[in-house]
Amino acid sequence: MKLRLGVIKETCRLIREARKRWDAHENQACRRERQHAMASYEELTEAERKEVPEQLQVWLRYRSEKYFGEGQKGNGMSAKPQKAKKEKKLDKPPEHAVAHRKVMSPVGPLYLLSSKKGLCGLYFGHRIEVTELPKENPRDRFLSQAEKELKAYFSGGREKFTVSLDARGSPFQRAVWRQLSAIPFGKTSGYGELAEDMENPKAVRAVGTANGANPISIIVPCHRVIGKDGSLTGFGGGLEIKRKLLRHEGVLLKAI
């Protein structure tokens, strides 16, 4: 049987487009493009599939399954049943935290953590392992300042935070967190933009990973990072909280 070169070429194009969205951390768009690529891949014969570069097949058939689900029988994808999702582990407080305080907010309870040098953590109540928190301290100056500034932020009287920060991470993570802090109130940025601002445009996915590791939510505004197509993308506190924070800041979002 004669190979359909045009169909093979189009399949490769679709897979590359899905990977492009993947590299840009645009999960919603990647999922859509991957579905198109999978549908086209299903139409190929065994002989035609061999003409698709191995690296494209590996990405489509295995690596992307971790995030978007496994394939079905008959399409050349893995036919193994999906494993039950593991319960997401709660975040552990930073090792250098010496005190904590629980405060209430319009997005639920927040746990503030301080070190001897500044605020070292701000976690949403459903994401932190409270049994491992350091002692409460009603007199800690960093916690008191952070609580006061958060109250002003949620009441509409503050757009910038001035409390001293002591977030610990790798040099790359800290560089990403500095870029996050530079995103103005009421504005958003994308993972690609952050990578370009850091003069490292190929580090889009690494930027996304560092963004997700940010230990000081809201004050270091990782919620201001959205997909290139305007989608919310992932957020440790949950998309509903991210949506509330952005709406509070006056950001107009698409399709929400």
pLDDT at 105 over 90: yes
Q: What is the CATH number of the domain that holds 178?
A: 1.10.10.10
Which of 41, 68, 95 terminates a domain? The answer is: 68
Q: Decide if 253 is inside a domain.
A: no
Separation CA 158–CA 189 (nearest Å): 20
Residues 35, 47 contacting (CB under 8 angstroms):
no
The predicted model scores a pTM of: 0.69
Which of 68, 92, 111 terminates a domain? The answer is: 68
Q: Decide if 136 is inside a domain.
A: no
The reported pLDDT for the residue numbered 86 is: 52
Mean pLDDT to the nearest integer, 58-84:
54
Q: Decide if 21 is inside a domain.
A: yes
Burial class (CB in 10 A: 0-12, 13-18, 19+), 200: middle
How many domains does the chain divide into?
A: 2
pLDDT tens digits, residue range 132-182?
999 999 999 999 999 999 999 999 999 999 999 999 999 999 999 999 999
30: confidence class by pLDDT, cuts 50, 70, 90: confident
Q: Decide if 131 is inside a domain.
A: no
Separation CA 18–CA 230 (nearest Å): 17
Residue 46, CB-side half-sphere exposure with 13 Å CA sphere: 1
Domain extent, residue 227, equals 171-248
Residues 253, 243 contacting (CB under 8 angstroms):
yes
Q: Which two tokens stand for residue 45?
A: 């014969």
The reported pLDDT for the residue numbered 124 is: 95
pLDDT, mean over the chain = 86
Q: Decide if 57 is inside a domain.
A: yes
| Packing angle, helices 5-23 and 27-42, rounded to 10 | 160
Residue whose token pair is 């399709």: 255
25: confidence class by pLDDT, cuts 50, 70, 90: confident
As annotated, the active-site residues are 222
Q: Decide if 227 is inside a domain.
A: yes
pLDDT tens digits, residue range 84-98?
445 567 889 999 999
The reported pLDDT for the residue numbered 67 is: 62
With a CB cutoff of 8 Å and minimum separation 6, the contacts of 109 are 102, 103, 124, 125
Helix (H) or strand (E) holding 121: strand 119-124
pLDDT at 228 over 60: yes
**Beta strands in 13-104, from DSSP E residues, in sequence order:** 99-103
